[in-house]
Chain A
Amino acid sequence: MDQPLRRIPTRFAVPIGILTFCVWAFWLSTQFERVPPILKRGIQPSDFPQLVIGLIAMLTIWLIFRDRSALPAPLSRHVQATIGLLLVFVLIAEVDLFLGLGAFAVLLAALWGERRIWALVLVGLISPTLVFFLFDSVFEVRFPRGLLTNFWYG
């Protein structure tokens, strides 16, 4: 009985979130500089974004009244943990990008049920190392300096 009642606000949560974003984006667009008519080349810098924001808001309002699609099931534990790992990656990558990649890869594999040591070494150590040397040597990509990359860059 109380299941639908709990779900009614959830159904509106996404459209309301989009509308809130629209209000914020519209406000931001009102802060753009305006150019004198002689320089504006057809439209002011804020005109086009405001037109698009208006379209998004209009469609969202339509969705509030007409969208009856089923809500997704709650996020699974694995998805929540994977998103958490992405945030952990962001933090570790600040120290060293490849340290972050290796840590994320090994933790993700473990989280998803991989227990074999060779597989964890493959994804957490061998893969990031090979990718680093591939991009560094073949594609001449210079990666940001960090705890590990400093060993290579000196």
Chain B
Amino acid sequence: MDSALLNGLLALADPHLLVLIFAATLGGVLVGALPGLNATTGVALLLPFTITMEPIPAIAILTTIYCSATFAGAITAILINTPGTSASATTCLDGYPLAQRGEAGRALGMAAVSSTIGGVISVICLMAAAPLMARAAYNFAPPEYFALTVFGLSMLATIGDGSPVKNILSGAFGVLIATVGIDLLTSIERFTFGMNELSEGIPFVPVMIGVFGISELLVQADNLHVERKPVVMKSIKLPSRKDYSRVWKTILRSSGIGTFIGILPAEGATVASMIGYNEAKRWSKHPEEFGNGSLEGIAGSEAANNSATGGAMVPTLALGIPGSPTAAVILAGLMVHGLRPGPAMFTDQADFAFAIFWSMMLVNVIFFFIGLWGAKIFARVTLIPIQILWPIVFIFSIVGAYALDQSMLDVWIAISSGILGFFMRRYGYSVVPMAIGLILGGMLETRLGQSMVMLDEKWWLMLARPLTLFFLVLTILALFGPMLWGRLFKQRSPLKSTGE
């Protein structure tokens, strides 16, 4: 373990990798600042670029984009009152009023500091918790894994802004798509319509590109009238000592909340930022300032959404269950590179896992400086006309979809998924559960089949296994708990999320 920690750090000593991480941080901040693009879309679009790379730089780039794009959402939230990512929606509430008062620099400074602290704390938790979780999962047999995957899917109920039933329906549809191709247990073809290309199933990457990239293009077609006017920013200002003394508790609390929310399967930075913001307001001595330019509000939201990134990687790497929508795309990236997330990752590929952790630590430091001194430049990026931006994004989407298997079928899958995703979003069905269902569907069926063999086809014996029962009880709580905590949902509803 200690040697893996050190080896992981040494892997980052490669100058080539450091340059890549720095470039990816810039790219991530750019993605987060561009209108309509978010961390999930950015990672999905950049995934094909990493195919020819070694696993460490490839996954380091994806996690870097994840962390930096999540932070960069704050730039547009503060300067143009448009969250670059939905995780920064709550940052608008106080960031923009501050910017209007001529204190944009102070707001951005607070966002950068709290994001960095939140991110660093969550990576430390990731380094400690992921190997522990993986060690605990060593005792899992197929029934436990099956129940855990069901629990992961049940958490989709509370993702995004759709109704829980629609989310589960969307997730189930993703699981159904995952059944296309040759059944791994029996080698029988299913839903292939005689097409050889489909025998290996519907590939993840084109679907991700379609539902996150192309569907967003259609959404943008409805937003052509939106005008973006930046607030004039004199200079970035680090928060003062007085500011720190007011917000340090909020930053630590939100970092803890964000990390915990991130660890929960499927819950991402958006939910974390909302809970972080609400808790910051609840504990504040000046709750009346929230919504009118409160630094605590910015700190609460930004520390929480960035700490969720590290938290989300815990179940992703330790169990193979994505902790957030973006982590789901990263999980797809791991699979594309032939890596198997799960307990074995911390024994067989421990150096790789710790190299990823260190790279996430590094990116949190890099974006602090970029956030402080580059925000002025990135703020201008938000003014790129969508008439120029989105045709270029489309070109990258299509070429990226084609590049993975060099198959035109993947292009058609990306376009079909994009159109389907657009209409799903239009009718209130979030596309995120579908994407996660597609990734977890194969695992779910395999574990069910293995469990049935193990239990001699007596499925009810699963309930006699304490851990399986525990996960199934959690599943029931995840599905029906929100009805009990209806107020929590009312707080979430105003936010229209796409990726996160």
Contacts and interface: CB of A to CB of B under 8 A. Distances in A.
A153 interface: no
A122 B388 contact: yes
B412 A41 contact: no
B392 A127 contact: yes
Contacts of A41: 185-186, 449, 452-453
Contacts of B175: 52
Interface string B387-424: 11011101110110011001010011001001100100
B451 A42 contact: yes
A131 B445 contact: no
A86 to B, nearest CB: 6
Contacts of A63: 165-166, 169
Interface in A67-112: 67, 69, 72, 76, 78-79, 81-83, 86, 89-90, 93, 97, 101, 104-106, 108-109, 112
Contacts of B448: 42-43, 48
Interface string B201-231: 0000000000000100110011010000000
A45 B391 contact: no
Contact of B387 (A79, A89, A114): A114
A4 B419 CA distance: 27
B36 to A, nearest CB: 13
A23 interface: no
A78 B166 contact: no
B51 interface: yes
Given A49-B190, A83-B419, A109-B387, A93 B411 contact: yes
B464 interface: no
Given A101-B399, A141-B406, A123 B52 contact: no
B176 A59 contact: no
B485 interface: no
Contact of B188 (A35, A52, A56, A113): A35
Contacts, number: 164
A2 interface: no
A97 B449 contact: no
Given A42-B448, A105-B392, A128-B395, A52 B169 contact: no
B365 interface: no
A45 B183 contact: yes
B191 A28 contact: yes
Where chain B touches its partner, the secondary structure class is helix
The main secondary structure of chain A at its interface with chain B is helix
A11 B158 CA distance: 23
A43 B452 contact: yes
Which of A46, A59, A114 has the most CB atoms of chain B within a 10 A radius of its CB? A59
Given A55-B172, A101-B399, A113-B224, A90 B406 contact: no
A53 interface: yes
Most buried by B among A25, A81, A131, A142: A131
A62 B408 contact: no
Contacts of A43: 185, 448-449, 452
B481 interface: no
Interface string B51-93: 1100000000000000000000000000000000000000000
Contacts of B200: none
Contact of B391 (A55, A69, A97, A104): A104
A83 B218 contact: yes
Contacts of B234: none
B403 A62 contact: no
A56 B177 CA distance: 12
Contacts of A112: 221, 224, 386-387, 390
B176 A62 contact: no
Nearest to B418: A86
Contact of B395 (A33, A66, A131): A131
Interface in B211-264: 214, 217-218, 221-222, 224
A25 B169 CA distance: 15
A79 B218 contact: yes
Contacts of A106: 391
A141 B188 contact: no
B487 interface: no
Contact of A82 (B168, B217, B395, B398): B217
Contacts of B395: 101, 105, 123, 127-128, 131
B172 A52 contact: yes
Nearest to B425: A72
B186 A90 contact: no
B460 interface: no
Contacts of B451: 42
B391 A90 contact: no
A54 to B, nearest CB: 10
A46 B179 CA distance: 9
B122 to A, nearest CB: 32
Contacts of B140: none
B190 A123 contact: no
B46 to A, nearest CB: 12
Given A41-B186, A42-B457, A143-B402, A79 B169 contact: no
Interface of B: 49, 51-52, 163, 165-166, 168-169, 172-173, 175-176, 179, 183, 185-186, 188-191, 214, 217-218, 221-222, 224, 385-388, 390-392, 394-396, 398-399, 402-403, 406, 408, 411-412, 415, 418-419, 422, 426-428, 445, 448-453, 457
Nearest 7 CB-CB pairings of A with B: A42-B452, A105-B391, A114-B387, A45-B188, A42-B449, A123-B391, A112-B387
29 contacts: A14-B427, A25-B176, A25-B191, A32-B188, A41-B453, A48-B448, A48-B449, A49-B191, A56-B172, A59-B165, A59-B169, A59-B172, A66-B165, A67-B163, A79-B422, A81-B221, A83-B218, A89-B415, A93-B408, A93-B411, A105-B395, A108-B394, A109-B387, A109-B391, A114-B387, A122-B388, A128-B395, A132-B399, A143-B406
